[in-house]
Structures are given as structure tokens and as C-alpha cells.
Amino acid sequence: MPDQSIKITGPFRQLLTMDKLPLKGSLKDAQLEIIEEAGIVHQNGLIIETGQFKSLCTKYSFAGITIQPIDTDLIVLPGLVDPHTHICWAGSRENDYALRLEGKSYAEIAQSGGGIWDTVNKTRHASGVELNKSLISKSSRQLSCGITTCEVKSGYALNLEGEIRLLEIIKAVRQEHPIDLVSTCLAAHIRPRDFEGTANEYLQYLTMMLLPLIKSEELSNRVDIFVDEGGFSAREAENYLKAAKKLGFDLVVHGDQFTSGGVHLAVNLGAKSVDHLEVIQSGEIKILAASDVVATALPGASLGLGCTFAPARRLLDAGCCLAIGSDWNPGSAPMGDLLVQTAILGTFEKLTNAEQLSAITFRAAQALGLNDRGILKKGYLADFIGFPGRNYREILYNQGMLKPRFVWKRGAQFF
């Protein structure tokens, strides 16, 4: 029998609800709703009310209430949302890293047997048990870092059976792990070397053979494509994304990491988000700001490759909805620590605490099309995390190294 009792958790030194903030544009810390000596009332994994702990205890002082007392200073936020990862893979790419340090280019590394294709080979040959174990371990690390919702892409098999297998593994882990995993099909990562045909023919093959199967097996409702050098051109991607949209998928675009083209496509086709944006130009920032497409920055990839960051300050000032993802992957972003990367991007791009925290809570949820999390208010998921401390500014000031002491997922405490 699931526990149906009403619970009050608290008191918390500070509770940041992330409520009443705009979805788009710049934010000042003064706009944050902060409740001192706060509590959260929740039942069946959903929030009933937030407010001052003492008055909540009085209001709900009838029978059947469980008070979950907290006897230490905690700063509480909504559970974090990582809207962009590739954490279903096998192998390791430390040799690519060493070659990058020697100044080798992406193409040279790929030619010498490294790059995405190396991970594809290792992932194809890994057992399901191995991949499952690895995804569980990464999901557990995410949860311990306060991430209660995490997007995971396929894209390291690049053939029909392999991509289905990865999406099935993600589905299996989602069913057994407390973290919420949101799967995305990234079979259009690169054209696989063993596919006999053009990039267009590969995308047609995915459209005809893979996407309908994913739909009928309910393995994912999101389709992503890498629109860039080494991936697919905007022209090639357009037909593929149109076909995916027709089949009912939500769209996501890896765009403007090295070359432009992805933003127009994402806006024209009404994608949920366009991710990377390191080389986005002023005109495209304007177009993006006028749309409902979320701009997802991936500072982990900039750190991994030694490239510039996405212009997060300019994106916010223009009125974009900015999310931040870890891009956790074996090649360009092996660190996979969303909070550290957010704090680093915040320092370089001069983002306020409010802007950084929004980008990894409700604005990141928007990138995943989820409107039931990322804010602590009535009816939303009781996903919340508590950092040791007395002032919310301590969190990012510590550059991501202050980790949550407690993590609650759907009202249940995991750490």
C-alpha cells in the first residue's frame, strides 16, 4: 500500500519556491520568492502547500499528519532538472582527450579511431546488463547531486536494433530508479560508417524503420538531431524533423555548436529546445527570443573542448528562455556535474543567482515540455532538495561543490 498520509517536512532555513518568475528573459535575485523558516506539505508525491512551518503545523494539526522534522539549517530548492545528457554509453575516451591536448582536430581524432564512432563500437558490443548497470550508476550520481529529472539520449548505436536496445534500457532504468529519466531518440547523431548510403538515405531509413517502432513501443516521444559539421546539414535535418513531427514526436536540435543553421530550423519547426549555441549570432538570438523555443546552454562541452561558452547573458537580455544542461557524454563533457558547470557559466557570463537557478529548474523543465516540476507550489511534484546553509547564495558561490544533503523525490527522501 502506498503511503497516503499528509506529510509536513521542515522547518527549512530558506525555501526558494522559484514561483511567480517569468519563463523568459533576465532575472534579478530580488524577484526570488524566499520563505524563511518554511515547510512543505505534501501527499502522494505532490505538493499541497508551502509556507511557514509553524503555521502549516497549526493548520494541519488534525489526525493523520506525519511531521518530518529537520534539525539542521537547510536551504531548499526544487529538484534540479538536467535537460540534456548522453549517459547511456559504454567505454571511455581518455585517448581523445590526450589527442585534443596535443592539438589534434576533431577530424584527425575521428580518423585515428576516436570520436563518436569509437563510443558507438564499444556501446554496440557492450552487454545489456553492462549498459543497464552503468546507467543506474550515473542516474544515482545525478540524484545524489540533486537532479530529480534527467533527460537521456540514445545515439551510440546508430542502427535499428541498437537504438531500440538503448531506448529500452533507458525505459527499464526509468521504471526501477527513483530519478525521472526522459528519453530522446538521437539516432541522427552522425551518419554511421557502416551505413551504405548518403546522409539523406540514412535519415530516410530512420524515418521509415526506426521512428514508427519507437512510437508504437512507446520508447520515447522526443527526436533530436545533430545539425553541424560532422553531423547533418540543416537541409538534411529539415525533412527528417518534419517527418518526426508528423509522427507526433517533440523535436530537439543540437545546433550552432561549431556552425550556424540549427536555430532557424528549430524555430521554424517549433522545436522544444535548441541546444549548444556557442556560435549563435545576433540575428538568430533575436529570432530565438521571439519564439517559444528554449535556448539550452551546455557549458560542460565548452569546458571539455576548450571552446567559448554560449552567450547566455545576451540570450537572456534579448528575452530568451535559458536552460542549462550538463551534456554528460564520454567525448566532450565527461564531468557531468550540472551545478559546477552552471556556476562556471554564471561567473563567465555574469548570470544572477536567480538566472542560474531558473535555468536548472523550471526553465529546464520547459525544455522537456514538463509543466509539473521545477517550482515548489500546489499541485507540482514534491521534488525538492536541501543544501546545508543559511543563505541560498552559498550554493552557487561554492561553485557547485556544495552538494545537497537531502533529496526528496515525489515526497520520498533518498539522501
List residues near Zn ion by CB under 5 A.
Answer: 327
Tell me the C-alpha distance between 75 and 139, whole Å.
23
CB of 209 to Zn ion, least distance (A): 24
Of 313, 406, 317, nearest in space to 356 by CA: 313
Q: Which is nearer to Zn ion, 244 or 297 (CB)?
A: 297
Cell, residue 35: 520563505
State in angstroms the smallest separation of the CB of 93 from Zn ion: 14
Note the Cα 173 to chain centre separation in Å. 17
Residue 329 corresponds to which amino acid?
A: N
Cα angle 153, 156, 157 (rounded to 5 degrees) comes to 115
CB of 284 to Zn ion, least distance (A): 19
Cα–Cα separations (whole angstroms), residue 332 to 28, 176, 224, 414? 32, 29, 18, 30
Q: Which has the closest alpha carbon to 370: 383, 356, 385, 357?
A: 383
Q: How far apart are CA 254 and CA 223, in angstroms?
A: 11
Find the shortest distance in angstroms from Cβ 324 to Zn ion. Answer: 13
Q: Which is nearer to Zn ion, 180 or 327 (CB)?
A: 327
DSSP lists the bridge partners of residue 67 as 8
Give min distance, CB of 353 to Zn ion, in A: 26
Q: Which is nearer to Zn ion, 250 or 327 (CB)?
A: 327
Residue 40 neighbours by CB under 8 Å, 6+ apart: 8, 9, 10, 12, 15, 47, 49, 50, 76, 376, 382, 384
Q: Which residue is nearest to Zn ion (CB)?
A: 327
Minimum separation from the CB atom of position 227 to Zn ion (A): 12
| Beta carbon of residue 275, minimum distance to Zn ion (angstroms, whole number) | 6
Residue 150 or residue 385: which is nearer to Zn ion going by CB?
Answer: 150
Least spacing, CB of residue 212 vs Zn ion, in Å: 25
Q: Which C-beta is closer to Zn ion: that of 7 or that of 93?
A: 93
Amino acid letter, 183:
S
Rg (alpha carbons) of the chain, rounded to whole number? 21
The residue (of 13 and 86) whose beta carbon lies closer to Zn ion is 86
300 and 333 in contact (C-beta within 8 Å)?
A: yes
Q: How many CB atoms lie within 10 A of CB 33?
A: 15
Nearer to Zn ion, 56 or 274 (CB): 274
Quick one: 224 or 355, whose CB is closer to Zn ion? 224
CA-CA distance, 385 to 338, in Å (whole number)? 15
User: Is 68:8 a contact under the CB 8 Å cutoff?
Assistant: yes
**What would the grid cell of residue 68 be?**
518530518
Of the two residues 238 and 327, which places its CB atom closer to Zn ion in the complex?
327
The least CB distance from residue 329 to Zn ion, in Å, is 6
- Distance of closest approach, residue 342 Cβ to Zn ion, in angstroms: 16
SS3 content of the chain, % helix, strand, coil (to 5): 40, 20, 40
Q: Give the residue with the Cβ less far from Zn ion, 311 or 331.
A: 331
- Helix ranges (DSSP H) in 145-289: 160-176, 199-205, 211-216, 234-246, 262-268, 282-289
With residue 384 as reference, give the H or E element that holds it.
Answer: strand 384-388
Nearer to Zn ion among residue 284 and residue 327 (C-beta): 327
CB of 189 to Zn ion, least distance (A): 9
Whether omega before 11 lies within 30 degrees of 0, making that bond cis, reads yes
